[in-house]
């Protein structure tokens, strides 16, 4: 039977050769003398891949599954001490006397000082004002133009508006011009900054302006790169989302009693004690005289404090590469804003997306004067 099988195979081979097929012996993929080298190479590649990929896998695991890190942000302590005229501990001892936190917040203090005889309008009065001015969010989403209507205080009645849609709409209408107005000021400052930098020589007034901006943005050693990175806008959708989250769309006690739109804490001085605080908790929520001061302090906080260095770095990259800012990406770098860390950023993203707040990122506030219009 064995010979018969061999004959059959030989006949088949001859038939296939006559028909033009090439018949050859199957060679071993790896010669025997190289087998040891082959397995050694495989093991080496595996070990190298293991040691290279392990840190990356650990980092992804930590980011995805680890519990949120509790972060203490002392930027608001500094601002409150400025209000009280107290000494400030510098973030970096090497910065010595060059950084003055009074310079950082002097324009916020100016708003607080000038806020006299403010009147709290009712929700119905504010709604009527908006109707008279033909100011509505539907048109803004379409034409991207916002009238400069400045409301100093939130209406008490916003807490009793049963329709969440109407409550959110009124809240956005109130805070949107305030946020845009502060962004406009920063935009004009950036325009002035780059105009000065593009000149071969500068006047004394321009040099003094630069000097004041170094102080205002906490920049030491006249570092122009740092100044350009810090002097930039906060995306409108992101600012609205944070204000909505921190105030419950304007209904919180802190917003109603202290005009605190962004939940800034203080450990000394005037503030509002949280009702749910435990024994031994000494922090309060910072108070402002008007909403505008809260917005400016919030923007200065994000633009200068070390906790948001990565936020500013990514914002600068977006500005250079794309020419505009992406709030849904930038929000990832605000995990140090709240004790809940990454959970906080997830909530902000949800608020932005569900309420289509990105529609307002390209909105512009109408100028108050002909000169302002020409500059913009």
| CATH code for position 165 | 1.10.530.10
Residue 101 located in a structural domain: yes
Cα angle, residue 68 at apex, residues 64 and 72 outer, rounded to 5°: 145
Residue 70 located in a structural domain: no
Determine the structural domain holding residue 183 and report its residue range: 75-375
- Same domain, residue pair 27 and 155: no
Of 45, 65, 85, the one marking the end of a domain is 65
pLDDT bracket for residue 87 (50, 70, 90) = very low
- Same domain, residue pair 25 and 86: no
Q: Which of 95-104, 110-119, 290-299 has the lowest mean pLDDT?
A: 95-104
- Same domain, residue pair 206 and 322: yes
- Same domain, residue pair 225 and 365: yes
Q: Report helix angle 291-304 to 75-84, nearest 10.
A: 130
What percent of the chain has a predicted confidence (pLDDT) above 90?
A: 57
The residue among 54 and 139 whose pLDDT is bigger is: 139
Question: What average pLDDT does the structure give for the chain?
Answer: 81
Average pLDDT over residues 359-375: 78
- Same domain, residue pair 55 and 143: no
- Same domain, residue pair 173 and 192: yes
Cα angle, residue 196 at apex, residues 192 and 197 outer, rounded to 5°: 120
Q: For 191-243, what is each residue's pLDDT tens digit?
A: 999 999 999 999 999 999 999 999 999 998 889 999 999 999 999 999 999 99
Average pLDDT over residues 314-333: 97
Q: CA 176, CA 183: separation in Å to the nearest integer?
A: 11
- Same domain, residue pair 190 and 308: yes
In the DSSP assignment, the letter for residue 272 is E
pTM of the model: 0.74
Residue 326 located in a structural domain: yes
The two three-digit tokens of residue 121, written as one number: 């309008």
pLDDT for residue 328 is more than 90: yes
Position 107 scores a pLDDT of 85
pLDDT bracket for residue 124 (50, 70, 90) = very high
pLDDT for residue 139 is more than 60: yes
């Amino acid at each position: 039977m064995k010979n018969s099988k061999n004959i059959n195979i030989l006949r088949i081979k001859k038939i296939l050769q006559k028909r033009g097929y090439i018949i050859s012996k199957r060679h071993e993929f790896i010669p025997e003398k190289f087998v040891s080298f082959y397995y050694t190479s495989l093991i080496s590649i595996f070990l190298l891949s293991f040691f290279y990929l392990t840190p990356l896998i650990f980092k992804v695991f930590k980011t995805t599954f680890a519990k949120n890190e509790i972060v203490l942000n002392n930027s608001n302590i500094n601002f409150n001490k400025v209000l009280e005229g107290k000494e400030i501990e510098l973030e970096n001892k090497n910065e010595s006397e060059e950084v003055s936190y009074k310079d950082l917040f002097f324009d916020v203090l100016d708003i607080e000082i000038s806020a006299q005889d403010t009147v709290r309008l009712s929700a119905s009065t504010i709604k009527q004002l908006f109707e008279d001015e033909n100011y509505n969010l539907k048109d803004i989403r379409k034409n991207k133009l916002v009238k400069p209507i400045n409301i100093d205080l939130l209406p008490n009645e916003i807490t009793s508006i049963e329709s969440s849609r109407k409550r959110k709409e009124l809240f956005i209408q109130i805070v949107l011009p305030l946020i845009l107005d502060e962004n406009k000021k920063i935009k004009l400052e950036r325009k002035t900054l780059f105009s000065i930098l593009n000149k071969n020589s500068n006047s004394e007034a321009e040099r003094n302006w630069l000097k004041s901006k170094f102080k205002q943005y906490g920049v030491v050693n006249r570092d122009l790169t740092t100044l350009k990175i810090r002097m930039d806008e906060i995306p409108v959708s992101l600012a609205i989302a944070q204000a909505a989250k921190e105030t419950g769309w304007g209904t919180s006690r802190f917003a109603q009693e202290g005009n605190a739109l962004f939940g800034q804490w203080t450990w000394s001085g005037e503030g509002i004690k949280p009702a749910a605080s435990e024994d031994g908790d000494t922090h309060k929520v910072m108070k402002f005289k008007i909403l505008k001061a809260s917005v400016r302090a919030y923007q200065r906080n994000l633009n200068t404090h070390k906790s948001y260095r990565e936020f500013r770095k990514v914002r600068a990259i977006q500005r250079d590469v794309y020419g505009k800012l992406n709030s849904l990406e930038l929000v990832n770098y605000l995990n140090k804003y709240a004790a809940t860390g990454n959970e906080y950023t997830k909530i902000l993203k949800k608020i932005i997306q569900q309420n289509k707040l990105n529609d307002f990122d390209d909105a512009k506030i109408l100028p108050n004067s002909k000169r302002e219009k020409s500059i913009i």
